[in-house]
Chains A and B, each alone.
Chain A
Amino acid sequence: MSKVKFLEVMAVVFLFIPISPVFAELTADQIVEKANQAAYYAGKDGRASVQMTISDARGGTRQRAFTLLRMNTQDGNQKFYVYFVEPADVRKMAYLVWKNVGGEDDRWLWLPALNLKKRIAPGDKRTSFVGSDFYYEDVSGRSQHEDRHELIEETDQSYLLKHVPKKPGSVEFAWFQTWIDKQTFLPMRAEYYDDSGQRYREVEALEVEMVQGHPTVMVAEARDLRSGSTTRNEFKKVEYDIGLQEQVFTERFLRRPPREVTR
């Protein structure tokens, strides 16, 4: 508290010194908070069409195509609607998540062949999302309160942070580090290390574009260094503030997919 206040005071002081345009130093926690906002909370709501290519070490590829809707609700909570287009055997399935910050998420899978809204056990968030190298948590975001953050390096372009889990048994990594862009606050690269200090997983933002004033990752890649598998996500038709209504994230619109996902 007092440290933050001190920094604010210093910031004000420095702002009045014209030759030294130095802003307040951000703490590691503040950087992570800003990165979280930039990566997962841009706009009131948003949509994107995602083309996912999973390539295994032997060169085989699998495709996933889905449309993603997101809406910010109260207290940092969010709702997600994922509508699958490809492959054919999961076509028209939908995945609904009510993300509860600080608690277990509510998750459902819509199975159109059975006309059934199936509830899914909350489960481990660090497992593969639809069989890709991205984890569920990469899609919906990891709570910043689950790790201790440390700023280990700062360049003109980015901050390098190290994150150590508060509950080491609950996750597969010993620690991870991220490079966060100083301009956009988007995490540009993350590296995950195991107990022996071996790097085994990477997630990287390859292309960033400005969409309606929000810096947006348009191409991202996740790599499993142990299996040699790579997943590339390309985001298309990204839009923010499309005026989604909260009722879109209910059973009614699982049965009858909204035009925001079918278009």
Chain B
Amino acid sequence: MMLFRISFLVLFGVLLAIPSAALELKAIQADLHGFLDARYGRRLQNDPYQDAKSLGETRLQLELSRMGDRSTLLLKTDVYYDDVVDQNKVDLEEGTGWLDLREANLLFSPHVMADVKLGRQILTWGTGDLLFINDLFPKDWQAFFSGRDVDYLKAPSDAIMISIFPEWANIDLVYTPRFDADRFISGERISYWDPVSQSLAGANAVTRTDRPDDWFGDDEWSVRISRNMAGYELALYGYDGFWKSPAGYDIAAGRATFPKLRVFGASLRGNLAKGIASLESGYYDSRDDRDGKDPMVPNSEWRALAGYEQEVVRNVTAGVQYYLEAMQDYDRYRAGLLTTATARDEVRQVLTLRLTWQLLNQNLTLSAFSYWSPTDHDGYLRPLVEYKITDAWQISAGANLFWGKEDYTFFGQFENNSNLYAGLRHSF
């Protein structure tokens, strides 16, 4: 382990010593870019189940791309050293070990009206800002809560995306032959509320899961049909797969499960007054518990959000969102719960506020994103300062601040994980 750490420091040093430059690999008509990123973070309070250090990593991202006339090949991979969780074994699904393969895909057009992207890729859609209803592509909540760059919130999918472009709409169809779960909060890095023991838990009780993992059996389908009408973007969505984070529990096996899920939804986004407005809704059909009786499987839900963003003063942008999750069959959910168990509210509501202020010719960005749930009485604040020292060098510092009246609510459970972090990045 020590040797590994030293070798990584050496690697960092070597990379700093050489004025890193992007390479143009003329022979294969490709180019190589990337960045070197070092980050460190600490918890602001004691957590009995975790280290005081919440983040400590050095990461080298290399991106090799070849853009041809007919196809584009992209290979993007992170090699990193993580000082918080000791893992030598590479797990490409989880991105743990020392290798996180972010993207490896081929994009081509088999027809003038169609594109295909095949392989490991990052997928995003929907209109929410750090809130997701119809985007059921994998998220990395560990990265998000611990202070990695926000890009890392999106975890890769191993999928094929087929896009068809008839006159009247864009149709995107994504098939994931084997379920790609979120990189969810498991207690390993970030402590959480364990509903089984009805207490806070962390590295002492890392979630054990029973993950659907049969190729072509435990698969996922996502579809979006979107259309732009005079600047207004309308989209319909569908998803067939599983709850992305372990939302269920198998008592007999003592493992958390990913119950079956189908989602149907729609969104609308466009200019309104001096800003942009968005609306999105989705129905979460929890197929393993359509009656809502089984306390070990989540009930079906309606989710909806409304957002508005506008520049309020020169160089200052503000965005607000209202979001809700409304459980169906709430009475049956309550009836099924053990008397000692903590219960969710029927309607969880969240308000978010984003403020972004750009200064010094956009080289300095001050921003804050806050979640606040008036129903759960909890919240999460993400302040961030980023400064571009030069075109290549950037420093940043931020925090992940959780608070809550109770230990078992969505943000409240993470209170012991509140942290401060700082990072340095060299892009080439």
Contact residues of A with B, CB < 8 Å?
54, 56, 60, 62-63, 86-89, 91, 98, 100, 104, 106, 113-116, 119-124, 126-128, 130-132, 172, 229, 247, 250-252, 255-257, 259, 262
Contacts and interface: CB of A to CB of B under 8 A. Distances in A.
B271 A122 contact: yes
Contacts of A62: 363, 390-391
Interface in B98-157: 107, 109, 115, 117, 121-125, 151, 154
Nearest to A89: B427
Contacts of B22: 88
B124 A104 contact: no
B89 interface: no
B391 A87 contact: yes
A56 B389 CA distance: 13
B26 interface: no
Contacts of A114: 122, 124, 151, 154
Nearest to A98: B231
A122 B309 CA distance: 9
Nearest to B362: A131
15 contacts: A62-B363, A88-B428, A89-B388, A89-B391, A89-B394, A100-B231, A114-B122, A115-B121, A119-B233, A119-B278, A120-B276, A121-B275, A122-B311, A131-B362, A262-B67
A229 B361 contact: yes
Given A88-B428, A115-B124, A122-B276, A106 B67 contact: no
Contacts of B67: 257, 262
Contact of B314 (A119, A127, A252): A127
B216 interface: no
A24 B231 CA distance: 41
Given A114-B154, A121-B275, A128-B362, A251 B269 contact: no
Q: How large is the interface on B (under 10, 10 to 19, 20 to 34, 35 or more residues)?
A: 35 or more
B231 to A, nearest CB: 4
A200 to B, nearest CB: 15
Contact of A106 (B123, B231, B311, B319): B231
Given A121-B310, A121-B311, A229-B361, A88 B72 contact: no
B362 A119 contact: no
Contacts of B361: 54, 56, 128, 131-132, 229
Q: Which 5 interchain pairs have the tightest Cβ spacing?
A: A131-B362, A87-B391, A88-B427, A123-B311, A89-B427
A256 B392 contact: no
A141 B163 CA distance: 34
Contacts of A113: 122, 151, 154
A106 B271 contact: yes
A131 B170 contact: no
Given A88-B427, A89-B394, A123-B317, A250 B228 contact: yes
B33 A91 contact: yes
Contacts of B165: 247, 252
A222 to B, nearest CB: 12
A116 B278 CA distance: 16
Given A121-B276, A229-B361, A251 B314 contact: no
A119 B275 CA distance: 10
Contact of A121 (B233, B309, B390, B428): B309
Nearest to B152: A113
A88 B362 contact: no
B315 interface: yes
Contacts of A259: 69
Contact of A116 (B124, B233, B271): B124
Contacts of A124: 311, 314-315
Contacts of A89: 35, 388, 391, 394, 425, 427
Nearest to A108: B233
A131 B386 CA distance: 14
A256 B72 contact: yes
Interface string B36-61: 00000000000000000000000000
A258 B346 CA distance: 48
Nearest to A104: B271
B416 to A, nearest CB: 29
A74 to B, nearest CB: 12
Contacts of B278: 119
Given A87-B392, A132-B361, A252 B275 contact: no
A251 B319 CA distance: 23
A257 B72 CA distance: 10
Given A116-B124, A121-B311, 20 more contacts: A62-B391, A87-B392, A89-B35, A89-B391, A89-B394, A113-B122, A119-B269, A121-B274, A121-B276, A123-B274, A123-B317, A124-B311, A124-B315, A127-B315, A229-B361, A252-B165, A252-B170, A255-B163, A256-B109, A257-B67
Interface string B300-322: 00000000011100110101000
A252 B115 CA distance: 8
A121 B107 CA distance: 30
Contacts of B315: 124, 127
Contacts of A128: 361-362
Interface in B387-407: 388, 390-392, 394
A86 B24 CA distance: 14
A114 B33 CA distance: 17
A121 B309 CA distance: 6
B427 A119 contact: no
Contacts of B271: 104, 106, 122
Contacts of B163: 252, 255
B191 to A, nearest CB: 28
